[in-house]
Amino acid sequence: MKLDSAGLRVLSHEECMNLLATAPIGRIVFTDRALPAVQPVNFVLDGTDIVIRTTVGSKLAAATRRAIVAFEADAFDPEGRTGWSVTVVGHARAVDDPAEAERLAGLPLTPWAPGSRDHYIVIAAEQVSGREITGG
């Protein structure tokens, strides 16, 4: 069992991707007007890519175009003080190719927010790290 400097168990790449697949919501971390910004989004995995939907004119679409972003998902149990978190860092790109957008439209990814959201952002999982806190 590998522990990090904080005493948390380090998750393997495979554990990280398996846990990410269980999370309905993640948080995309980017820079907005030189300030740190974070926004929860629902998402789906496409292989190891993270796929989210937004509107073409959104702040998120503008801020993540050709940017390096972080994406985090987690689940915690406050009673047992256990849980896990996984963070991905990688390049975000807007999907401009209609054929790719059509393929992504077939993924099980329905926006929670109202309105039409047919703009796709794909984050490549270039760095993946995760930790587990086991309580006690």
**Site residues for a second copy per CB under 8 A:** 5-8, 24-25, 27, 29-31, 35-40, 55, 57-59, 68-70, 72, 74, 76, 78, 81, 83, 85, 87, 89, 112-115, 133, 135
Q: Which is nearer to a second copy, 49 or 74 (CB)?
A: 74
**Range list of β-strands (E), the chain:** 9-10, 25-32, 35-42, 44-46, 49-54, 68-77, 82-94, 119-123, 127-133
Q: Which is nearer to a second copy, 25 or 97 (CB)?
A: 25
Q: Which is nearer to a second copy, 40 or 118 (CB)?
A: 40
Q: CB of residue 17 vs a second copy: minimum separation in angstroms? A: 18
Query: Other CB atoms closer than 10 Å to residue 68's CB: what's the count?
Result: 15
What pairs with residue 29 in β-bridges? 38, 70
By the 8 A CB rule, do 27 and 42 touch? no
